[in-house]
Structure 1
Amino acid sequence: MTLLLFLVFLVLLIIGFPIAFALGISAFVYILFSDLPLMVIPQKMYAGIDVFVLLSIPGFILAGNLMNASGITSRIIRFCNALLGHIRGGLGLANVGASMLFGGISGTAIADTASIGSVMIPAMKKEGYDTEFSCAVTASSSTIGPIIPPSLPMIIAATLTGLSVGKLFVAGIVPGVLLGLGFMAVTYLISVKRKYPKSQRAPLKQVALRFVEAFWAIMMTLVILFGIIGGIFTPTEASIVAVVYAVAVGLWIYKELSLRMIPAILLQSAKTTASLMVLVGFANLFAWIMTVEELPQLIADSMLELTENKLLLLLMINLLLIFVGAFMETIAALLILFPVLLGVAVQVGVDPVQFAIIMVVNLVIGLTTPPVGVCLFVASSIGNISLERITKAGLPFLLVSILILLLVTYVPEVSLWLPGLFYD
């Protein structure tokens, strides 16, 4: 029966079904042929989404959409360009810097690629950057979003294991910053080699002005993060604070948000939330079936039989996750595999918080690797180039991602140092 479950799932993926429905239909076929009551389906789906901390997800999605509609993207880009534009390849560096700041607001890579890419890719092409390089920078740097808080994958990971959302948020800061700096280094080196343009140094007054414009956007991340760390509010309450903050900034400070725009933003946020919750529900049903079949224990035992060496085991897990991330959506892979692999990692002495960061960094790499690299698809669509061209141009950035992944994997302090300061 397990073979039937995975066979149906793989066939549905190959013929192009969305990952959520592939999970749901394969689980339905399994239950149908196993003579289990169909009542199991709604029960397990509801159990998967009936978790208090998941209430923060619609809040953060709505807050991000409100801030997007408030003109935040252009303000962040102008600030980063004023700060970095005078360096060789400055517009590319500004692209990465904008992704680091924007990731702290949206928490998702696709939103980052679409919002920043729609502005930066045409601007970079106009300034003389190669199209594939412009798209590769945008797609690659957008993967910082799910690592720097607030992060939707981190919320899911905390939901699955009972880990502190605040601790995971803090643990993602250093890896996210290192990833951003690594992308900047690659961008600069390629820009110098290809003699990409640079602009004149912006006067200090202009840099200060651009910072003031972007200040309220940057403050949103700090309010969320330090509010959770300081115990002022829970992640769910933080998401509501973020919504109120976004409305206030959009209506009365940036003044680009109007009351007439809010119903459409609410509808879009509801659609995004609904699709995510359907995915969570179906993935929970799929994971329950795997548990019934004792697959998690089988996988754990098999891996531990091969080796109990911590370094080798982590390398095996990384290779598995990079492969899975290339074919499966991040949240779905996290829901199905995180509890299974966490048990293996803990048995060889890996800290659960560190492993959560390893897992998230691993899976976001899949956002820029074919065949299911959604950020590649979005960027290539904006730049109007083939997937092959953008994939080739993104190889140096992919190498940086893997190096940071290895650093997070084998140097625990990279992800545990900051949580140790705030929580121990």
Structure 2
Amino acid sequence: MSIFILFSTFAFLVIYTVPIAIALGIATLVTILSTGNLSVDFLVSTLITSVDSFPIMAVPFFILAGDIMGSGGISQRLVNFANSLVKNITGGFAIASIITCMFFAAISGSGPATVAAVGGIMIPAMIKYGYDRGFATAVVTAAGAIGVMIPPSIPMVMYGVSASTSIGDLFIAGVVPGLLVTFCLIVWAYIYSKKKGYKGSGEPFSLKEVFEQLKHAQLALLIPVIILGGIYGGIFTPTEASVVAVVYGLVVSLFVYKEITFKDLPQIFTKSVLTSVIVLLIVGTATAFGKYLALEQIPTQIANAMLAFSDSKIVFILLMVALLLVVGCFMETVAAIIILTPILVPVAMLFGFNPVHIGIIMVVTLAIGFITPPLGLNLFVGSSVSGISVERLSKAIVPFFVAMLIALLFVIFIPQLSLALI
């Protein structure tokens, strides 16, 4: 009965568009009050202890670093560099948009932030050169999902905390899958652009210009090198790396690029605080929701059911991916990871899966949720940037959804794509 109350209350609130963090908290509270088997103190203490963690401190700092560098002229320099690489290639602007999203992903760690930063520049540019508005928006919206695959990634931090797995290993393991998804998106963008006759700027390729734009963008491109190099060089932890990213972003944006001033910092900090509060509230309520499930032994029951259904490793992983794809349509990525990690990872390990590999599969699969309605955050950000309806964008993005699924299958069935570098 308690589980029925928990899930029915949560489903009711989600259907009526209550924010996911609030829905998780209210569903847990209603269940506690209805059953009387726990005190309200359980919810209160979980909200506090769930965010009282050194690794989770990386989340607000990476969010702040992304906001600083997104406002500090870095996105425009990345766009210019990407354009210099593919300006005379079929679909050049679309390909440049995807490459820029990949670069910016290594800065922001956020899908919606990547869509907003790159889309504001590249969508108008593509439309100006004759690209269909729906296709142009779909390119950036889909590529924005790479934001949680390429390190630093906030969902990877949350998975690492939930599964007691090395965040540094997850960061490294996400590099090749992120590049693979980028490649698959580029392939489809090229095929469609060739069919429609979409071009780049038409200017000839210039190695001199590439080096010139690389010179302007080099400080931005150094960010992932500094973060990953510092972590694996033993210089700092992933949490300390997030602080390094903030300091680096401030120095570059204020004193080198000079695109922001000290007067802009209160607005940037306020935006980051609001985003961080939302994420950390989700962490707290999702942890309480997940702990209640654990107390009711739901993870154990699900594990036993899966093992009884089939002892096939392939069947399990496909069922898991199908579940994550459905969940990604309705639940925010961080909440889904916190709730499902304690359920799925122990079962996956019984089947012999590496926890780092499972983490990458979960992150890549749930990243697809950024472009699937009804929740798809990237869809709403892309729609607001370009001015087209979410319905039209949802149709235009279907081929990119398929391309991401193909990349996901490679990640699932070739574990070394994720594990070779760690």
Same fold by TM-score, threshold 0.5 exceeded? yes
1:97-128 Cα deviation digits (max 9, x unpaired): 00000000000000001111111111111110
**Equivalent in the alignment of 1:376:** 379
2:90 is aligned, of 88, 91, 108, to 88
User: Which residues in structure 2 correspond to 1:73-152 (within 5 Å)?
Assistant: 73-152=75-154
1:291-339 Cα deviation digits (max 9, x unpaired): 1111111111111110010011111111111111111111111110012
Give 1:42 shift. Answer: 1.2
SS of the aligned residue for 1:145 comes to: helix
User: Which residues in structure 2 correspond to 1:87-236 (within 5 Å)?
Assistant: 87-198=89-200, 199-236=202-239
| Residue 412 (structure 1) aligned with residue 410 (structure 2) | no
1:41-67 Cα deviation digits (max 9, x unpaired): 111111211111001111111111111
| Residue 303 (structure 1) aligned with residue 306 (structure 2) | yes
1:403 is aligned, of 386, 401, 406, to 406
Q: Distance in 2 between matches of 1:367 and 1:69?
A: 23
1:339-398 Cα deviation digits (max 9, x unpaired): 210011100101100000000011010110111111011112222222222122111111
Amino acid at match of 1:101: F
Q: How many percent identity over aligned positions?
A: 41
**Equivalent in the alignment of 2:11:** 10
Q: Distance in 1 between matches of 2:301 and 2:34?
A: 22
Amino acid at match of 1:11: F
**Equivalent in the alignment of 2:25:** 24
SS of the aligned residue for 1:86 comes to: coil
SS of the aligned residue for 2:420 comes to: helix
| Residue 364 (structure 1) aligned with residue 370 (structure 2) | no
Amino acid at match of 2:258: K
**Equivalent in the alignment of 1:39:** 41
Q: Distance in 1 between matches of 2:368 and 2:417?
A: 18
**Equivalent in the alignment of 2:61:** 59
Amino acid at match of 1:39: D
Give 1:203 shift. Answer: 2.3
| Residue 288 (structure 1) aligned with residue 291 (structure 2) | yes
In structure 1, the gaps of 5 or more residues are 420-424
Q: Distance in 2 between matches of 1:251 and 1:374?
A: 30
Q: Distance in 2 between matches of 1:356 and 1:66?
A: 28
**Equivalent in the alignment of 2:282:** 279
Amino acid at match of 2:30: V
Q: Distance in 1 between matches of 2:12 and 2:34?
A: 17
SS of the aligned residue for 2:50 comes to: helix
SS of the aligned residue for 2:40 comes to: coil
In structure 2, the gaps of 5 or more residues are none
Q: Distance in 1 between matches of 2:411 and 2:48?
A: 34
**Equivalent in the alignment of 1:240:** 243
Amino acid at match of 2:69: M
SS of the aligned residue for 1:418 comes to: coil
Amino acid at match of 1:47: T
SS of the aligned residue for 1:218 comes to: helix
TM-score by length of 1: 0.97
Q: Distance in 1 between matches of 2:376 and 2:204?
A: 36
Give 1:262 shift. Answer: 1.1
Give 1:38 shift. Answer: 1.2
Amino acid at match of 1:189: I
Amino acid at match of 1:337: L
1:124-182 Cα deviation digits (max 9, x unpaired): 11110001100110110011110000000000000112111110000000000010011
1:218-276 Cα deviation digits (max 9, x unpaired): 10111011101111101111111111111110112111121111111111111111111
2:349 is aligned, of 346, 363, 368, to 346
Q: CA RMSD in A?
A: 0.9
SS of the aligned residue for 1:326 comes to: helix
TM-score by length of 2: 0.98
2:326 is aligned, of 306, 323, 328, to 323
Amino acid at match of 2:155: P
1:392 is aligned, of 395, 403, 407, to 395
Range that drifts further, 397-406 or 348-357 = 397-406
List structure 1 runs of 4+ shifted beyond 3 angstroms.
Answer: none
SS of the aligned residue for 1:39 comes to: helix
Give the aligned length: 419
Q: Distance in 2 between matches of 1:339 and 1:37?
A: 23
Q: Distance in 1 between matches of 2:19 and 2:41?
A: 23
Amino acid at match of 1:44: T
Amino acid at match of 2:20: I
SS of the aligned residue for 2:79 comes to: helix
1:58-85 Cα deviation digits (max 9, x unpaired): 1111111111111111110011001111
Q: Distance in 2 between matches of 1:388 and 1:70?
A: 33
Q: Distance in 1 between matches of 2:147 and 2:177?
A: 11
Amino acid at match of 1:46: I
Q: Distance in 2 between matches of 1:392 and 1:38?
A: 45
